[in-house]
Amino acid sequence: MLKSLFGELVPTALKPGGPMPEFAATAVLESTDTRVADDGRMLDRHQQDLFFSGSPAAAMREHMAQARHADDVRTITLLDPTRLWAPGVIKALSDATGQPVERLHLRQQTTLTTLATLERTVVPRRGDASLKIYHADLRVAEGENLAIPFVLMERSQMAAVIVGPMVPGEVEAMLVALRRAVTQPTWNCDSLLFLLPPNALWIASKIAALDWPSKLHVEVIDEPLTGTSSVWNALLAAWDRQQTTPEQAADPAAIDARNVARQLRALMSTDGVIGAALVDATDGDLLAGESRDSSVDLKRAAAALAPVLRAHRKAHEDMGLVGSLEEFSVTAGVAHHLMRPLARRPHQFLFARIERQHANLALLRFKLAEAERALG
* Residue 40 maps to a domain: no
Provide the residue range defining the domain that includes 164. 69-243
Burial group, residue 347, by CB count within 10 angstroms (0-12, 13-18, 19+): middle
Question: Could you read off the pLDDT of 320-361 as tens digits, one per residue?
Answer: 776 677 778 888 778 888 888 887 777 888 988 888 887 778
- How much is the mean pLDDT over the chain? 78
* Residue 186 maps to a domain: yes
* Residue 367 maps to a domain: yes
Percent of the chain at pLDDT > 70 equals: 80
Query: pLDDT higher for 61 or 196?
Result: 196
d(C-alpha 337, C-alpha 265), whole Å? 17
Strand partners, 27: 51
Q: What is the pLDDT of residue 193?
A: 93
**232 and 350 share one domain:** no
Cβ of 226: how many Cβ atoms within 10 Å?
A: 8
Chain centre to alpha carbon of residue 196: 12
Residue 330 is part of a domain; what is its CATH number? 3.30.450.30
Q: What is the pLDDT of residue 69?
A: 58
**188 and 267 share one domain:** no
d(C-alpha 120, C-alpha 7), whole Å? 12
Query: pLDDT higher for 4 or 117?
Result: 117
Q: Which of 74-83, 222-231, 258-267, 269-278 has the highest mean pLDDT?
A: 74-83
Question: Could you read off the pLDDT of 133-164 as tens digits, one per residue?
Answer: 999 888 766 667 778 889 889 989 999 999 98
**279 and 223 share one domain:** no
Q: Are strands 73-79 and 102-108 parallel, antiparallel or unpaired?
A: unpaired
> Nearest Cα to 255, choosing from 129, 121, 132, 348?
348
**234 and 282 share one domain:** no
Question: Could you read off the pLDDT of 45-64 as tens digits, one per residue?
Answer: 677 777 877 777 787 787 77
* Residue 46 maps to a domain: no
d(C-alpha 71, C-alpha 13), whole Å? 22
* Residue 82 maps to a domain: yes
- Reported for 317-323, long-range contacts at CB under 8 A and 24+ positions apart, including other chains, are none
Query: pLDDT higher for 281 or 182?
Result: 182
DSSP conformational letter for 40: S
**169 and 151 share one domain:** yes
When divided into structural domains, the chain yields a total of 2
**Mean pLDDT, range 220-238, rounded to an integer:** 84
Name the CA radius of gyration of the chain, rounded: 24
Enumerate the H helices of the chain as residue ranges: 56-65, 86-97, 148-154, 168-182, 201-209, 228-242, 246-250, 257-268, 298-318, 361-375
Residue 96 is part of a domain; what is its CATH number? 3.40.50.300
For residue 134, the number of C-alpha atoms closer than 13 Å in the C-beta half-sphere is 25
